Amino acid sequence: MIPIPEIDLPKMRRSCHTAAKILQYVGSHVRPGISTNELDRICEEYTVSLGATSACLGYHGYPKSVCISVNDCVCHGLPDDYVLQEGDIANIDVTCIVEGYYGDTSGMFTVGEVSSEALRLIDVAEKAMYKGIEAIGPGATTGDIGFAINKFVTKNGYTAVRDIGGHGIGRFFHGDPFVPSYGKKGKGTRLVPGTCITVEPMVNETDADVVESGIENSSIKIYHTADKCLSAQFEHTILITEEGCEILTVFEGE
């Protein structure tokens, strides 16, 4: 008998709801002229005001409260003095801890008016995430998710990032299983009802390599596209159920 990991669902729901609320709040401050450091400060202050803790701050030495990945940055963008410019696109990735549980969600934000190419990439990345989530029926595997994501992304002429992906989450930030954005139906890890994962495809305009750079005093890497093409990503934390799944990182106002 494989033991079902105990998860306090009301607590997990509260954490995920809080992460979604923080994401919406930080995103509402995106405008030309604001620096990513200012958005980080807004994130930290709002997180603390809700009685939550940033899961990013201090995680493997990561020095900020949020990841903000602008334009060609694939993920783990480190907030700094960069001032957002009209036409930029940015992924904001919020992870908080509430009552010992982790909620992890990200979305894309546009700075002023952006190109139609950028808007199409963002649209495909969001739909790719939902394709992955919709692939989680009874008895689904991580391969089913990856297959659905990759099929949709490829059909639209883009590339799904392979080396980085979703993860198990709960009373911990990153755990098994790895949730890839490519795969074969029925392969990978069978998803267990009552556990949580993230679905977080990163979608690039081209099939160029992804290059990594370091962060001082941290083992977290920042990823960019080697050819500087745009990259977009969305992320939800998902509860696996007997029937399929439920998206936990939702916030529709209170």
Question: By CB under 5 A, how many residues form the interface with Co ion?
Answer: 5
The entry of Co ion, ligand MF3, none that residue 69 binds, CB within 5 to 8 Å by partner kind: none
Q: What part of residues 140-199 is at the interface with ligand MF3 (CB under 6 A)? A: 198
Stretch of 38-46, 56-64, 187-195, 245-253 lying at the interface with ligand MF3 (CB under 6 A): 56-64
Q: Is 104 in the site for Co ion (CB under 5 A)?
A: yes
Nearer to Co ion, 5 or 112 (CB): 5
- Report the C-alpha gap between 216 and 64 in whole angstroms: 12
Shortest distance, CB of residue 78 to ligand MF3, whole angstroms?
A: 8
Contact 66, 93 (CB under 8 A): yes
Cα angle 76-78-81, degrees, rounded to a multiple of 5: 155
Q: Is 67 in the site for ligand MF3 (CB under 6 A)?
A: yes
The entry of Co ion, ligand MF3, none that residue 56 binds, CB within 5 to 8 Å by partner kind: ligand MF3
The footprint of ligand MF3 (CB under 6 A) covers 56, 59, 62, 67, 76, 93, 95, 104, 198, 200, 220, 235
